[in-house]
Chain A
Amino acid sequence: SAVISQKPSRDICQRGTSLTIQCQVDSQVTMMFWYRQQPGQSLTLIATANQGSEATYESGFVIDKFPISRPNLTFSTLTVSNMSPEDSSIYLCSVVDMFGTDTQYFGPGTRLTVL
């Protein structure tokens, strides 16, 4: 399976600021996704990161708040903009590889705390 890394692993930020999270995969993948896991909650899909085009956002998530880039088949970023304490969550990227295994693999996550 693909090896996925995320940077930073954790951060503590002040409200009103923005944080960009990076997701790097060691091989080319077909699909990349960003999920949010709020404290004590399950995972919620934020968006599908599309290579070379705008991300596809799920209901309740907008590009102005969560801009996403995917410049190539191995890298994506998620920015959490104008943060508030409600944005404190774990953010995870996930990938589907090129070999049609249908399995989605997850990165280690970025634990964000907003004060």
Chain B
Amino acid sequence: AQSVAQPEDQVNVAEGNPLTVKCTYSVSGNPYLFWYVQYPNRGLQFLLKYITGDNLVKGSYGFEAEFNKSQTSFHLKKPSALVSDSALYFCAVRDLNDYKLSFGAGTTVTVRA
């Protein structure tokens, strides 16, 4: 079985400050990890993924994530947050042999001006 935990329901940061959204995962084999963002009344937009290779993955809109196998974590980061980054963020995992995604509960990010 595979699962994802996003320990924070909400993250609040000031514009220009670093943003971190936490994610830990559990999967039987090698993980495929994803971050998606959902703006109000919109579908999910793909941000970035880790399949293999470098532990630091860069994605859309200046976001990056670091894969840490020993800590089974895949935290999303942005060095300088924007008000427009305010949205709902989901971490998701699948294993090598199954395309079905398991999602975390989501983290609401609010960036104040």
Contacts and interface: CB of A to CB of B under 8 A. Distances in A.
Contacts, number: 48
Contacts of A53: none
Interface string A15-28: 00000000000000
B103 A106 contact: no
B103 A1 contact: no
Contacts of A105: 46
A104 B101 CA distance: 9
A33 B100 contact: yes
Contact of A103 (B41, B46, B104, B105): B46
A41 B6 CA distance: 13
A104 B106 contact: no
B106 A42 contact: yes
A107 interface: yes
Contacts of A107: 43
Contacts of A1: 46
Interface residues on chain A, size class: 20 to 34
Interface in B44-76: 44-46, 49, 51
A1 B43 CA distance: 15
Nearest to A58: B100
B105 A92 contact: no
B61 to A, nearest CB: 15
A96 B98 CA distance: 12
Nearest to B6: A42
Interface string A87-115: 00000101010000011111111010000
B101 A103 contact: no
A8 B100 CA distance: 25
Interface in A70-101: 92, 94, 96
